[in-house]
Amino acid sequence: MRMRRPKMGLTVRPAVKSSCVCSEKTIDVYRNGEVVDQRPAPPVHDCDYVAARNALIPHAVWRASLETAASPAKWEDVFCRAMDTLARERISYPR
């Protein structure tokens, strides 16, 4: 089953076990600031979702930087809220 993401123009496929080709094909495990292990992405990993989400990052960075110019300590909170809002608006999920 394939569903269209109307605003992003991307297709969502239900996650299945397959070879991952996205930027998150492995998960780095850190200890004391160094990568000590790499693990494969979980079987429910969705490469299309990762690509759609990563496409939203530049806009969320811009929004957070604009809103927190006077208060850099709030940048992460504003960035996370911007990502949530953008994802809700632009990415549709299979139901």
Residue-wise pLDDT tens digits, 9-42: 444 444 444 456 666 777 778 888 788 888 877 7
Q: Do the Cβ atoms of 91 and 5 come closer than 8 Å? A: yes
Comparing CA positions, the residue from 67, 84, 86 lying closest to residue 75 is 67
Task: Check: pTM over 0.85? Answer yes or no.
Answer: no
Please report which confidence band the pLDDT of residue 95 belongs to, taking 50, 70 and 90 as the band edges.
Answer: low
